[in-house]
């Protein structure tokens, strides 16, 4: 039994839970590598290796969280127990990432590896049940897309909140010795503490605010207590089941490619803003806000755009636009067809391009989440099992790959081009011109160009709106028959 129509309060509460992950993603994607290399002086390659260890654990923890919540039995349903249990440990681990109690290189490496793994595992225990819940709550097409839109919107709000909190509040307050913005070491710890508290508050709000839907969600049939071996067998059996779906394979692979590329560029953004474009805080903030504003506008426009053009077309459009607008300004600069650093036209052009990129990319983000929920329906039609957790473990892993694989690739790229580290490296004049050129080539044409590959995978997705509608009718008939049989 599912709700026919969702109230605004449920949509809002569900969506605001993503704000916590938006803050988390900003911390790990935008700041973490820069903090450990440019503030603490750790080698980018060593920092990337520590973060890379967490990616391996991430793959397992996402699958584990999905399978565990799919089979969980409790009065609070399958998803909510994990949402309630994870918010405090997650916030504590996030804070400790930016509060290392060690100083040597190898000790910092170990600290970064341990707490990145713990933080990501805690995020898996929250995030996978949370996004799986969105597919369970409703089968109404517009409501399902709206839930993804709310989630994407608040994810952007959370990311923007974390950025503005640092640049507008803590960095100016703790500024000293001529350091500004990202080079203020004393700003990171209180910033991380406030972000951790905000993460905990939004995640708890989401769990508490959606608890009213629990009676309407699918209940798992009572099963005998499983041994640990049975749990692990079921874990990999669930993963094997979902990978049999052709539509899932094409959709997941395509999005994973582009998410990794987004993660690489997101990790390098702070380096590009600081050294390649030589932007001060007054310009960085509008550029960061521009993408978030464009993405928010695109998120709420997506419901109408999907109804007119279809989810698949919007997904392909968003993927192409992200790659194109990511590449364009860097390529134009390398060709010397873009305003020089310090030119009055530089900020307006970067802002305009980021708004367009954000608006377009929102179509891909919302389309992916909504289409994956449709694949869950197809899977139930073919197998008779609802396994949102297993499917959305893949969604969670692809999303977290932005700050996982992205940081690994970005860190080793910086190592490869001999990027200088330490708090004294503050301006472009502190970096060799060839090193700056190499970073621009890697950030622009090489990485963004790979984003076009993802579109080839999207074309392999064959679940049409008409076919999905037929599947929902058939599933509704089956459920009604089960209810009638139980009542009889």
299 pLDDT band, cuts 50/70/90, is confident
- Residue 187 is classified by DSSP as G
| Least confident stretch, 172-176, 260-264, 391-395 | 391-395
Domain that holds residue 465: 15-209+228-487
What is the Cα–Cα distance from 2 to 73, expressed in whole angstroms?
Answer: 18
Q: Is the pLDDT of residue 289 over 60?
A: yes
Q: Would the pLDDT of 106 be above 70?
A: yes
The CB-based long-range contact list for 102-110 (8 Å cut-off, 24+ gap) reads: 105/41, 105/42, 105/43, 105/46, 108/36, 108/40, 108/42, 109/42, 109/46, 109/47, 109/49, 109/50, 110/50
- Asked if 258 contacts 322 with a C-beta cutoff of 8 angstroms, the reply is yes
Give 475's contacts (C-beta < 8 A, 6+ positions apart).
139, 377, 380, 381
- Residue scoring higher pLDDT (139 or 381): 381
Closest CA to 443 of 237, 302, 232, 267: 267
Give CA–CA dist 432/435, Å, rounded: 5
The pLDDT, as a whole number, for residue 485 is 63
For 318, what's the count of Cα atoms within 13 Å in the CB-facing half-sphere?
Answer: 32
Note the pLDDT tens digit of each residue in 38-81. Answer: 899 999 888 888 887 776 676 677 767 766 777 677 777 778 88
Of 87, 115, 88, 90, give the one whose Cα is nearest residue 101.
115
Please give the mean pLDDT across all residues of the chain.
82
**218 lies in some domain:** no
* C-alpha R_g of the chain: 22
Q: Which ranges in 98-170 belong to alpha helices (H)?
A: 105-137, 141-164
pLDDT digits (tens, 9 = 90+) for 422-480: 888 888 999 999 999 999 989 888 877 777 778 888 888 888 888 888 888 888 787 67
Domain annotation covers residue 6: no
Mean pLDDT of 197-218: 86
Select the highest-mean-pLDDT range: 298-307, 353-362, 401-410: 353-362
User: How many domains does one find in the chain?
Assistant: 1
pLDDT of 218: 64
| Of the candidates 64, 209, 215, 83, the residue with the CA atom closest to the CA atom of residue 136 | 215
Structural domain includes residue 44:
yes
Kindly give, in sequence order, each residue whose CB lies less than 8 Å from that of residue 110, ignoring residues fewer than 6 positions away: 50, 102
d(CA 269, CA 428): 14
pLDDT at 232 over 60: no
- CA dihedral (366, 371, 374, 375) positive or negative: negative
- Phi then psi for residue 171, to 5 deg, are -60, -50
What are the structure tokens assigned to 201, written together?
């508050």
Q: What CATH number is attached to the domain comprising 478?
A: 1.20.1250.20
- Give the angle subtended at the CA of 140 by the CAs of 387 and 145, to the nearest 5°: 80
In a domain, 4, yes or no: no
Q: How many residues does the chain have?
A: 488
Question: Does any domain span residue 157?
Answer: yes
CA angle 19, 395, 318 (to 5 degrees): 80
Domain membership flag for residue 97: yes
- pTM of the complete model: 0.75
> Got the DSSP string for 4-51?
SS--HHHHHHHHHHHHHHHHHHHIIIIIHHHIIIIIS---HHHHHHHH
> 268 is written with which tokens?
């390098």
Residue 215 located in a structural domain: no
Alpha-helical regions (H) of 384-464: 388-400, 405-416, 433-441, 447-458
Rounded CA gap, 368 and 252, in Å? 9
**Has residue 161 been placed in a domain?**
yes
User: For residues 246 and 460, is the Cβ–Cβ distance under 8 A?
Assistant: yes
């Amino acid at each position: 039994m599912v709700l026919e129509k969702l109230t605004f309060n449920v949509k809002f509460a569900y969506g605001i839970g993503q704000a916590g992950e938006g803050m988390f993603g900003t911390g790990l994607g935008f700041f973490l590598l820069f903090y450990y290399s440019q503030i603490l002086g750790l080698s980018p390659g060593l920092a990337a290796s520590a973060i890379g260890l967490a990616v391996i654990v991430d793959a397992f923890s996402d699958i584990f969280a999905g399978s565990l919540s799919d089979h969980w039995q409790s009065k609070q349903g399958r998803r909510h127990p994990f949402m309630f249990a994870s918010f405090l440990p997650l916030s504590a681990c996030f804070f400790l990432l930016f509060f290392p109690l060690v100083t040597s290189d190898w000790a910092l490496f170990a600290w970064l590896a341990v707490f990145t793994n713990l933080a990501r595992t805690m995020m898996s225990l929250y995030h996978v049940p949370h996004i799986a819940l969105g597919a369970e709550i409703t089968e109404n097409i517009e409501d399902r897309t709206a839930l993804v839109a709310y989630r994407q919107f608040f994810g952007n709000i959370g990311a923007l909140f974390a950025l503005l909190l640092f640049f507008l509040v803590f960095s100016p307050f703790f500024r000293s010795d001529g350091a500004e913005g990202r080079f203020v070491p004393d700003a990171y710890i209180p910033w991380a503490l406030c972000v951790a508290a905000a993460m905990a508050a939004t995640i708890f709000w989401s769990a508490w605010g959606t608890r009213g839907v629990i009676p309407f969600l699918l209940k798992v049939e009572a099963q005998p207590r499983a041994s640990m071996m049975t749990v692990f067998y079921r874990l990999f059996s669930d993963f094997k089941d979902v990978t049999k779906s052709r539509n899932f394979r094409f959709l997941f692979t395509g999005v994973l490619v582009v998410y990794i590329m987004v993660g690489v560029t997101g990790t390098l953004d702070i380096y590009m803003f600081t050294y390649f474009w030589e932007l001060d805080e007054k310009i960085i903030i509008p550029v960061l806000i521009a993408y978030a504003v464009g993405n928010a506008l695109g998120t709420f426009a997506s419901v109408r755009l999907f109804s007119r053009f279809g989810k698949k077309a919007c997904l392909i459009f968003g993927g192409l636009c992200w790659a194109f607008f990511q590449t364009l300004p860097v390529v134009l600069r390398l060709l010397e067809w873009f305003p020089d650093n310090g030119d009055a036209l530089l900020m307006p052009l970067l802002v305009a391009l980021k708004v367009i990129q954000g608006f377009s990319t929102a179509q891909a983000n919302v389309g992916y989440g909504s289409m994956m929920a449709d694949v869950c329906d197809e899977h139930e039609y073919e197998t008779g099992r609802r396994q949102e957790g297993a499917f959305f473990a893949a969604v969670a892993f692809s999303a977290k790959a932005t700050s996982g694989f992205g940081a690994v690739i970005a860190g080793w790229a910086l190592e490869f081009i001999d990027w200088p580290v330490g708090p004294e490296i503050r301006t472009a004049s502190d970096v060799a011109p060839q090193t700056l050129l190499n970073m621009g080539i890697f950030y622009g044409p090489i990485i963004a160009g790979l984003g076009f590959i993802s579109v080839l995978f999207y074309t392999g997705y064959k679940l049409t709106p008409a076919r999905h509608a037929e599947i929902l009718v058939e599933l509704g008939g089956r459920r009604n028959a089960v209810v009638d049989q139980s009542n009889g």
